[in-house]
Amino acid sequence: MEQGNSCFQSDLDFCPECGTILPLPGVQDKVTCVRCSFSIDVRDFEGKVVQSCVEFNRLGSVALMIMDDGQEVKGPMIDRKCPQCGHEGMVYHTRQMRSADEGQTVFYTCGQCKFQEKEDS
């Protein structure tokens, strides 16, 4: 499928037929969508700047809390409001509680009142 036959207009980062992110241009003459085989001439990408950004957790963003029963809770601190005390900032960790084809469970612990909740994804 060639660019002239497209039903939609889109940014060059996305396939105008199915919306899939297009692979980066390489040495080939065409950039081809891996999902629907739509192709765009590689010269259409001339002058386009590709930027990427990787964000890492801040140093010291992993908190360690000791619960009343002596259990240690360790994990990254996120901006999440505690539903019990309203404190902004909860520690979380994840576990695969169900079968592998289902989402993981996220456990949140408040840094102030130690309230715990879980969220199935």
Q: Residues annotated as binding site for Zn(2+)? A: 15, 18, 33, 36, 82, 85, 110, 113
Q: Which residues are annotated as a binding site?
A: 15, 18, 33, 36, 82, 85, 110, 113
In order, the DSSP letters of 21-77 are BPPPP-SSSEEE-TTT--EEEGGGGTTPPP------PPTT-EEEEE-TTS-EEEEEE
Measured distance CA(18)–CA(7) in Å, rounded: 10
What are the tokens at 97? 């509680």
